[in-house]
Structure formats: C-alpha cells, structure tokens
Amino acid sequence: MSYEFDFADVFAAWPELLQGLLNTLVLSALAMAIGMVVSVAGALGKTSGPKWLRWFIDEYIELIRNTPFLIQIFMIYFGLPSLGIKLSSNEAALIALVVNVGAYGIEIIRAGIESIQKGQVEAGKSLGMRPLQIFRYIVLKPAIQAVYPSLTSQFILLMLNSSVCSAIAASELTAVAGDIQSRTFRSFEVYFVVTCIYLGLSLFFWSAFAGIERTLLRKPTR
Amino acid sequence: MRELGPNEILFILAAVRWTLLLSVVAFIGGAIGGALVALARTSEFKWLRLLANGYIKLFQGTPLLMQLFLAFFVPGLFGWSVDPWMAAAIGLSLHASAFLGEIWRGAIEVVPRGQWEAATSLGLRYGPKMALVIVPQAVRIAIPPTIGFLVQLIKGTSLASIIGFVELTRAAQVINNATFRPFTIFALVAVVYYVICRPLSAYSKRMEQKLLVAAR
C-alpha cells in the first residue's frame, strides 16, 4: 500500500464540518417534528376518517414507500417549479424528508393507536372526559409510548437518509463533505471522517433513546 | 435543447435493466454475506458474535450514500481502480449483508430452544443441525422481512447514480439535463420504481399476515 494519508486538509475544515453536522441535526429534528404531526393526523384519518380519505392516505403511503427517496427529492426540487412552486434546496430537502417520514410514521402511530384497548376509551368516557382529552391522554400518549422504539429508529433512519439531500446541494453534512472534497481532492479522507461523524451520531442516539426508554418510559408494574 | 421524444423515453426505460441487474447482484452478494453474518451473530463463540454485531452496527449506523462513496474510494488506496458499477455492486452487497444478517439472526433466534436441544441430543453436529433443523424453520419466518428489505435495496440502487453509475435514476438525470422536462421525467421514473416495488411490498405484507394468523 503506497497511499499517503493526509487528513490535515480535512481537519482544517472542521468549522465547515461542524456547521454541516449542526445543519444535519436541525434538518432531521425539524423533519421528524413536522413528520410526527403528519403521522398523527394521517393515523387519525386512517383509523377514523371517511372512506375516500383512508384510500388517499393508503395510496400516499404506498407511493412513498415504493419509490426511492432520491426521486422524491428530485420531484420536489426540480419537478415542482414547473408547476410554479419554487423552493430553495433546504426547503425542498425538509419537505421531502417530511413527506418521506410521514409514510412510515403513519403506520407506526396507527399500530400504536390500535394497541389501545376499547375498554380504556370507554373508561375515559364514563369518567366524563371530553373526546379531545380521551384522544390525548388515553389514546395518543400510551400509543406513542407503545411504539417509542420504532419511532426512535425511524428518526435515526431519517437522519442517515438526510445525506441524500446533498444531491440537491442542501447545506447538510454530506454536501459539506462534497465541498471539501472538490477543494482538496482528499476523497477518501473526507468521506472517512464524515462517515465516522454519522456513526458517532447514530451511536449517540441509539444509547440516548435506550436510556430515555429505561428511565422515563418505564411501564408501571401492575 | 432536445425534445423529450420516444427515443429519450426508451433510453430511460432501457436503463431499468441496470437497476434490476444491480439489485440482483447486490441481493445475491448480500445473501451470501448475510448468511455468514447471521451464523456468526448466533454462534457460540463470543468474539464472532461481537464481530458480527460490530459489522451490523457499522452499516446500520452510517448512510448508504457514504458506504457507496467509500466503496468507490477505498480500493484506490490499494492502487486498484474500480468503475462505478463495481463500486456500487460491492457497496450495496456489503450493505445488504449487514441488514439481511440482522433479519436472519432474528429468524434463527425465533426457532424454539427445544429444537436446538432436540437436534443436539439426536447427535447432529453444527452443520446438519443448522441445515436440517434450524434453517428450514427460520426461512419461513424470514421471507416477509427479506422481501421487504429487497424493496429497500432496489430503491437504494438509485444512489448508485450519485457515484456515476448509469441506472434508471442517472439515465433520467441525463435526459433531464438535455430536455429539461423534470416533472414528466422524474414522475415517469417514479412510476417505474413503483411498478417494480409495489408487488414485492404487497407480497411481503400478505406473507407476514399469513404468518401472524398461523401464529395465533
């Protein structure tokens, strides 16, 4: 092996890498937060909406799950402007991630809602709780607790998926890596360091989410 | 500027064969690697289990795009040059090995403990025990999630376009750069992926429900 490693140029670009890392985190967190709203609304529509709405949500889920994320981004960033909707690359990236995670989140939340026994809701009614209170305290909260592990792994998938947003030059970590690479020609070094950063993020979130599950979401013992 | 005519559409549709070929190669590579990972992950040697677990975490904890970039650039360190096709095939195979390994580990572990013990007490060694007793039972459970992952893999091949391999997505970009009809072109490509993936997803879901009913 005669290759001379040179990480100096990559490490010298640490402020850019840090900014890219922060952008990736903000983009992922925002997409997850908005995606959760979409997911709860979609799950509600799927469990108790009219027939046409259920059909529409089902088709949305299948369409997103059976097409690549890269094509979804291209549709939003390059395709929508021809319908008169112009978006910056960061806006397009956020919307694409929300649309994508929604298709997975709806099914996760719905599974959670369906795990709530009917008797629980009836008990809430007989205690005189209003429908919104019942939904919030008796359905939604335990439902989210029940599917917490799926939701957290969905977040990590979303974060890793956000690297694809570099294809439309959204300003996240992978795009920063591309910038540094085209300036320094240290391809291996740049992508190695950035891969390590992603791995670090995943390991951090895996253990943080497991810690939260152990301490805060412990099921009361009966 | 070029018009978007039948030739352009045919150029895009013909590139489907590269998407399919890459998917098949990566799936076969991933199946071989995944079998090894699953066996290592369920082995009685602790160091093998840890090694396999590290491999799985490494690939589940980093973006597929990064894995493809590294598959493209790492061989260069040893003085080997790989074209985008080789890099994509290797990168996706290693990626699939980790995910299939984890899926199949789960399927192997669901086989009841008594089956292992019965096979051992019949005097079966590791090889025949796995081949005759454990794996046939695990396969049934493993089929739905394996097909589900195949859909992920087919969608994942679109990222090979970023390292320059001309499959469906890259072909669409090439034609889009010449004709600038992004909405039509990417919608067409989305439909092609959908037509390939939707039946597989549906099959996976149906099989899963069948197993759930059988388990009740």
pTM, 2 dp? 0.92
Can you read off the two tokens belonging to residue A77?
A: 């960033």
Residue B27's nearest CA partner among B87, B96, B91, B90 is B96
Residue of B nearest to A85 (CA): B183
Are B194 and A1 an interchain contact pair (Cβ–Cβ within 8 Å)? no
Number of neighbours of residue B46 by Cβ within 10 angstroms: 8
The whole-number pLDDT of residue A96 equals 97
Contact A75 B162 (CB under 8 A): no
Say if A153 falls within a structural domain. Answer: yes
Give the Cβ contact number of residue A47 at 10 Å. Answer: 14
Question: Rounded mean pLDDT of chain B?
Answer: 94
User: Structural domain boundaries of chain B?
Assistant: 6-215
Burial call A113-143: b when 16+ CB within 10 Å, e when fewer: beebeeeebeebeeeebeeeebbeebbbebb
**How many angstroms separate the CA atoms of B10 and B136, rounded?**
43
| Total count of domains within chain A | 1
Q: How far is CA A117 from CA A50, A142, A221, B174, B214, in A?
A: 22, 11, 18, 53, 23
Judge whether residue B30 has pLDDT over 90. yes
B190–A82 CB contact, under 8 Å: no
Measure the CA–CA gap between A138 and A41, rounded to whole angstroms: 16
CB A70 to CB B159 under 8 A? yes
Q: Do A199 and B79 touch (CB under 8 A)?
A: no
Q: Which CATH class is domain B6-215?
A: mainly alpha
Partner-chain contact A1 B201, CB within 8 Å:
no
CB pairs under 8 A between A and B: 122
| Contact yes or no for B63 and A174 at CB 8 A | yes
How many residues in total does chain B contain? 216
Nearest CB partner across the interface for A202, out of B61, B169, B173: B61
Could A191 and B73 be called an inter-chain contact, meaning their C-beta atoms sit closer than 8 Å? yes
- Answer for the pair B57, A200: CB distance below 8 angstroms, yes or no: no
Q: Which residues of A touch B (CB under 8 A)?
A: 1-3, 62-63, 65-72, 74-75, 78-83, 156, 160-161, 163-164, 166-167, 174, 187-188, 191-192, 194-195, 198-199, 202-203, 206
Instruction: Give the residue-averaged pLDDT of B185-207.
Output: 96
Helix and strand element counts for chain B (H, E): 10, 0
Residue-wise pLDDT for A73-103, tens only, equals: 999 999 999 888 999 999 999 999 999 999 9
Using pLDDT thresholds of 50, 70 and 90, give the confidence band for residue A118.
Answer: confident
CATH code of the domain covering residue A122? 1.10.3720.10
Candidates B62, B170, B205, partner chain A, best to mutate (most A CBs within 10 A): B62
Are the Cβ atoms of B74 and A188 closer than 8 angstroms? yes
* pLDDT of res. A220: 61
In a domain, A179, yes or no: yes
When CB atoms are compared, the residue of A1, A67, A174 closest to B194 is A67
Query: Whole-angstrom distance between the N-terminal and C-terminal Cα of chain B?
Result: 62
pLDDT digits (tens, 9 = 90+) for A148-192: 999 999 999 999 999 999 999 888 999 999 999 999 888 899 999
Whole domain around residue A24: which residue ranges? 15-215
All residues at 6 or more sequence positions from B79 whose CB lies less than 8 Å from its CB, including other chains: A1, A2, A3
Q: Tell me the mean pLDDT in the region B102-124.
A: 93
Cβ neighbours of residue A196 closer than 8 Å, sequence gap 6 or more: none
Domain contains A2: no
Collect all residues of chain B within an 8 Å Cβ-Cβ radius of residue A191. Answer: 66, 69-70, 73
Cβ-Cβ contacts under 8 Å, B67 against chain A:
195
Q: Which residue of B has its CA nearest to A161?
A: B63
Of A127, A150, A126, A124, nearest to A137 by C-alpha is A124
User: What are A30-75's pLDDT values in tens digits?
Assistant: 999 999 999 999 999 998 899 999 999 999 999 999 999 999 999 9
What does the DSSP 8-state code read for residue A81? Answer: G
